[in-house]
Structure 1
C-alpha cells in the first residue's frame, strides 16, 4: 500500500533526509520516496489516464515544487504544480502555456520543463510541440513564448521525429546569456543573448538520412546535456551517433567508440564531476531494443574517451526502450542514477550506476523520470531540497 499523510491525502511524506523520484507515464504520475535510496515507497497514480511526458523539480529557495506537463485527451495540455510533494495540485484556469493570438498554433505537448539556476529564482523554461521554447518568471505558473525561436526563418523546415515535433532539451549556462536547445528534428540551436536570437550549431553531427548528411540544421538530435565542471562542453545522443563539443557547439566530435551501439535517447551528466556522463544504448533505429536484449547503462568518466558497461541489478532479457527523458540523476554523494522503460519498470542506483535496484514494475509506459534529494519536516509539510540536474 502506498503511504498516506495524516489527512489521508496521497502525497509522499518527507523525512529528515529523503529522496524523491517523479515518474511520468502514458497513464499518470507516480511519486517514489526513500530514506536511503535502498527501499522505496510509491504514491499514485496522480492524473490517472493523462499522459505525463515532462516533469521539473524546482528546489530553489529552500522549497520543493513539482511541475508536470499534463496532456489530457479531453482537456488538452498544461503545466500543473504541487508545493506539498503531491498532496495537492494546482492548474492555471487558462492554462500555463497558450499560444498568443496571431500565431495560428495550438499547444500539443510539453516535452521539457527546466528550472533555471539559483541565481534566477522563479525562472523556468519549457520546450513544447509544435517546436517552441517558453519562459516563466513565476515558478512555472505562466509561460511566455520565445519569439526569437518561433519566428526563426528555419522553422518551416523543422520536422517531426518518430514521437512528434519536439523541443526536448534546454541547457542554460550560469550567466543566463548562453542557451542551447535541441529539437527533433532540427538539431542543436544556440543563443548568446539569453534567447533573443538563435543560430544552428550542428557541425560534425551526422544526418545520414538526409540527401546532405552534414547539413547546417535538420539533424535528429535525441538529447543534449552539459558538463557541470567544464565550460562550453556538452554531450549529445543523436539518431545514431554520440558526440561531444568543447567549444559551445561550434564543433562536435564522435565519442561513440567503445559503446555496443550508437543509437539511443538518453544523455545524462554528473551534477558536479568533470567528464562523467551516462547513456543507455539501443541496437538501432530499426530495432529499438537493448543490444543482445541485455539492458545496460554505460558510463564514461573521461568525457567519452572510454565507456564502462553497468549491468548489475538489471535484466539480462529486456525488449523495451528507455526514452529520452525517462532517465535522471540526483545531486547526492555519490550521485544517484534513475530510469524507466517502456515496459513500466523503474530502476534506481545509489552508486552512480554500479548497481541498480527495481523501484517499480508493471507501470504504464514510462515517459519521464526526475529525481531530487529532499529534506523535510513532515509536521508542517515544509520541505527543502538540493537542486536536481534536469536531464
Structure 2
C-alpha cells in the first residue's frame, strides 16, 4: 500500500550518496549513487511540515561545498541559485565543508542548523534553502585560539534545546563545547570536567577536542559527550561534566547516540586509542547504556567479528520509529548496518561502498 510506513536511509560517502529503503528495517533496497565522485559529508532527513526533504552537504571537487535538497526521495535535486551557505563578504572567508545538518524540533518548522568548516554555525528558517551565519559564535573572542582536529576545524555537533529555543549547544574540534542561552547572540565555553591531555593544563576552559555531543530524550539539561579520550555526561547543561567511561573497553571514539524517547538510553562505539583508531581488538561492536552511562553492555549480534574500520561521528544515527527505534551506522570500509530492535541484532544494508561519512534514517508515509 502506498500509505504504508517505510524507512528510508541516506548514506553519504566519500564518492557519492546512496539511498536505502525498507518496509520492515530488515530487508533493504539500495539505489544510487547520486553525486558520483562527490564527497557527501553530511545528510539530514526532515519529515516536518507534511513532507520528506532529504538534505545533503556535498563537496564538489570543482565547484566547492553546497547544500542540496530533494523532496521526492532523490528523484530530483535542487540547489539554491547563489548557494544556501555562504560566508558574508566582510568575513573574507570561504566555506570549506558542511560537516553537520540538523533539523530543529517539530515545534520550530523550517529551522535547520548547519555546522561548518571553518568553525562556524549557520541557521536556516526556510527548511535549508538559505542559511545565515551566526555572528555570535563567529565573532567570539576565543576564535583565534580554536584549532583544527585531525579532520579539520569545524563545528560538528549542534544540539538545540527541546524545551527552550534560546538554549543551544555546539561542539567543535578543537575548541570544546559552547552554550548559548540567548538564541545564539552570545556563547560561553562549557567544558568543566572534560579533559584535554594534550595541553599542559589538562582541564582548560576551552580547547578540548570533543568529538560529538547529544542530548537526553527526557531531560534537556542532560547531555553526553564523546571526547578525544573520555566519555562524559552533564546533568546541568554543561556547567559540570563527569566521566561515564567505566564499563567501556576504551574511552576513545567518535559516535554517541541518545534514544529519541527513552531517557538514559544511549549508544557509543569505542575505538582502541587516538593512535590506532580501530574497533577494540578488531571486533566491531556498539555499547548501550540504559542508565545514563552508569553501566554498559556490548551489542554485537550480526556485526563482523573482524573489522578494523572506523565509524565517524556523523556516520551513525537513530530513527524515531514508534516501536523499537532503529540503529544505523556505516564504516570507512564501506559497510552499512541496520538494527530494527535498538541494537540487539544487525543486518548488512550495503557493502563495499566508498568511505561512509554520514548516515541518517527516518520513517516516512506515502
TM range (shorter): over 0.9
C-alpha root-mean-square deviation of aligned residues, in Å? 0.9
User: Quick one: distance in 2 between partners of 1:283 and 1:101?
Assistant: 43
Q: Indicate the residue corresponding to 2:284 in structure 1.
A: 295
Q: Indicate the residue corresponding to 2:203 in structure 1.
A: 214
Q: Indicate the residue corresponding to 1:41 in structure 2.
A: 29
Q: Which one of 145, 148, 153 corresponds to residue 136 of structure 2?
A: 148
TM-score, structure 2 length as denominator?
Answer: 0.98
Q: Indicate the residue corresponding to 1:348 in structure 2.
A: 338
Deviation at 1:15, TM superposition (A): 5.7
Q: Which one of 86, 100, 108 corresponds to residue 88 of structure 2?
A: 100
Deviation at 1:60, TM superposition (A): 0.6
User: Quick one: distance in 2 between partners of 1:331 and 1:123?
Assistant: 19
Task: List aligned pairs for 1:1-391, cutoff 5 A.
Answer: 16-174=4-162, 175-332=164-321, 333-376=323-366
User: Quick one: distance in 1 between partners of 2:3 and 2:70?
Assistant: 18
Deviation at 1:208, TM superposition (A): 0.3
Deviation at 1:118, TM superposition (A): 1.2
User: Quick one: distance in 1 between partners of 2:343 and 2:291?
Assistant: 16
1:83-121 CA-to-partner distances (Å, cap 9, x unmatched) read 001110001121111110110100000001110111111
Partner SS for 1:292: helix
User: Quick one: distance in 1 between partners of 2:154 and 2:139?
Assistant: 16
**Structure 1 unaligned residues grouped into runs of 5+:** 1-12, 377-391
Partner SS for 1:22: strand
Partner SS for 1:209: coil
Deviation at 1:14, TM superposition (A): 6.7
Spell out structure 1 runs of 4+ moving beyond 6 A: none
User: Quick one: distance in 2 between partners of 1:260 and 1:14?
Assistant: 45
User: Quick one: distance in 2 between partners of 1:78 and 1:207?
Assistant: 33
Partner SS for 1:81: strand
Aligned length: 364
Any conservation in 2 of the 1:15–1:35 contact (CA below 8 Å)? Answer: no
TM-score, structure 1 length as denominator?
Answer: 0.92
Any conservation in 2 of the 1:23–1:370 contact (CA below 8 Å)? Answer: yes
